[in-house]
Amino acid sequence: MGFLDEIKRRRTFGIISHPDAGKTTLTEKLLLFGGAIQEAGAVKSNKIKKTATSDFMEIERQRGISVATSVLAFIYRDKKINILDTPGHKDFAEDTFRTLTAVDSVIVVIDVAKGVEEQTEKLVEVCRMRNIPMIVFINKLDREGKDAFDLLDEVEQKLGLQVTPLSLPIGMGYDFKGIYNIWEQNVQLFDGEQKQTIGKKAHFDSVDHPDLEAAIGSKAIQNLKDELELIEGVYPKFDRTAYLKGTLQPVLFGSALNNFGVQELLNCFIEIAPEPLPKASEERVINPQEDAFSGFVFKIHANMDPNHRDRLAFVKVVSGTFQRNSPYLHVRLDKKLKFSSPNTFFAERKEIVDISYPGDIVGLHDTGNFKIGDTLTSGEPLHFKGIPSFSPEHFRYINNSDPMKAKQLAKGIDQLMDEGVAQLFTLNLNGRKVIGTVGALQFEVIQYRLLHEYGAKCSYENLNVHKACWIEGDEKSDAFQEFRRIKQKFLAQDKRGQLVFLADSAFSLQMAQDQYKELQFHFTSEF
């Protein structure tokens, strides 16, 4: 198969939603229908002992939430599918925002009972800003929920999307009979028996099929016909060009837990979703079809395998081919690196891969060379844009609870900070370590991972800090020297040795900005 054919068969997408909308369950069922697993796991269930494939970290299995993006790749109908299952919880949103820089399209999962929720609105806003093509999947149809048309209205109004239904539920909750697939123009009847494996579904290729009335009743058929007429009159016909531009969003219905509507979603997705798209760098727009390799690091994960203490940098291939044992330019360090064992992913399971194409996610073993946002190329100095780094909002002192494990704690903190889950500050006044995070739940995850992955115990102390901001200015100037002298109690160094002002209130931050106009106060570390 040629280079261009390989690009055309790639589909790289993220799954986003508010927590508990069924995102990880949907990922699991896509793997099941894609033939990548034989039996689906569950995010939280007393009866089902197998856990979800994408929730591979121990803390995810215990808490029943995703705390890190996982990458899963499989082949379906000769298409190479790369799924990035993202955390839904707002405390891990930074990981999700970064992941959205590496996808070509997304599936937005919405709970039929709860409708559009806060975190969904924020994530969809990011997708809209970047014109990322979106498919909406309305999940949990086997539960009592909102009317299908009310939900379509809510998606349009709250998310600001222009929708077109590609399937329609027949009934809801207790009355849920099945789905009419507008995309393939057939009816599938619901049987809630098979949850973990693929069962047979009753399938009719027309609303007028003589056996359909016996199966669901004449009233349900009449309702379905009326609703289909309404859809034809109210919603625009599906137009792939508008979908790819991000101006039209197809909506499908189903129940991921019950395997219902998932295969229809997958079949529709591989036909309409974009192949790898061009990506803007600071220098120029890079097309996937270019011969020269380019890619960027969007995620770093320490201890994918705790037994081997390995650290992996996740690289999205943007153009050309990434080949094992070939030298590539690390643009920030301006040096050539070779990789003898690049990996392809299936959650925590990895396989060495000889060649990767645009759209693929490659895992590179890293000894500390990479930071999030780094670029690798065949030689051209490129810098890809739009990988956000947020100023922390929660701050705590971190203390060592076991003096015998000081080295393990230092190493653990060092590696976890490189993942971008939090930031480490060292106070100038007394050398105490402060951790800053975007979400409070991150502290618990860091504490858990330090103990279970590095054998180090830590405790926290509250610290009254309103905001961290990075200071830039002429270090020899009087203003800079005076700022350092007066504010020394609130000054710290970040991991790279940059000066950071930990303002204790919005008022003191404003006063410092007004008083020291020669200095620049930055709210991200990448200025």
What is the domain-level CATH number for residue 75?
A: 3.40.50.300
Q: Which pLDDT score, from 0 to 100, does residue 40 have?
A: 42
Per DSSP, the residues of 402-433 read -GGGHHHHHHHHHHHHHTTS-EEEEETTT--E
Contact 185, 268 (CB under 8 A): no
Identify the residue with better confidence: 379 or 92.
Answer: 379
Do 47 and 193 reside in the same domain of the chain?
A: yes
- Indicate if 434 and 477 belong to the same structural domain: yes
Query: What does the pLDDT average to over 281-304?
Result: 87
- The two structure tokens encoding residue 8: 């055309």
pLDDT at 213 over 80: no
Q: Report yes or no on 465 lying in a domain.
A: yes
Same domain? For 267 and 413 the reply is no
For residue 63, pLDDT beyond 70: no
Quick one: tokens of 438?
Answer: 């975007």
Tell me which H or E stretch contains 24: helix 23-33
pLDDT digits over 307-337, tens only?
556 678 889 999 999 999 999 999 999 999 9
In this structure, are 333 and 469 located in the same domain?
Answer: no
Give the CATH number of the domain where residue 436 resides: 3.30.70.3280
Q: Give the three-state DSSP class for 185.
A: coil
What is the average pLDDT across 182-192? 79
Q: Which domain holds residue 337?
A: 279-377
| Total of domains in the chain | 3
Question: With 70 as the cut, is the pLDDT of residue 525 above it?
Answer: no
Do the strands 134-139 and 249-253 form a parallel or antiparallel pair, or are they unpaired? parallel
Q: Determine, yes or no, domain membership for 382.
A: no
pLDDT, position 347 = 44
CB-based contacts of 239: which residues, under 8 Å, 6+ apart? 248
* pLDDT value, residue 223: 83
Q: How many whole angstroms separate alpha carbon 319 and alpha carbon 335?
A: 20
Is there a domain that residue 388 lies in?
no
Please compute Rg for the chain using Cα positions.
Answer: 25
Tokens of 485: 């002298």
Query: Pick from 235, 254, 272: which residue ends a domain?
Result: 272
User: Given this model, what pLDDT does residue 261 score?
Assistant: 86
Residues in the chain: 527
Which among 256, 272, 288 is the end of a domain?
Answer: 272
Residue keyed to tokens 């709970």: 111
How many angstroms separate the CA atoms of 164 and 155, rounded?
11
CA-CA distance, 319 to 376, in Å (whole number)? Answer: 11
Domain boundary among 377, 404, 423: 377
Residues 335, 242 within the same domain: no
CATH number, domain with residue 364? 2.40.30.10
* Same domain flag for 410 and 372: no
Whether the predicted pLDDT of 249 surpasses 80? yes
Instruction: Based on the fold, state whether residues 408 and 477 are members of the same structural domain.
Output: yes
Half-sphere exposure for 356 (CA within 13 Å, toward CB): 32
Record the pTM.
0.76
How far is Cα 491 from Cα 504, in angstroms, rounded to an integer? 11
Q: Which residue has the tokens 């299995």?
A: 61
Q: Domain for residue 211, yes or no? A: yes
Q: CA–CA separation, 142 vs 46, rounded Å?
A: 20
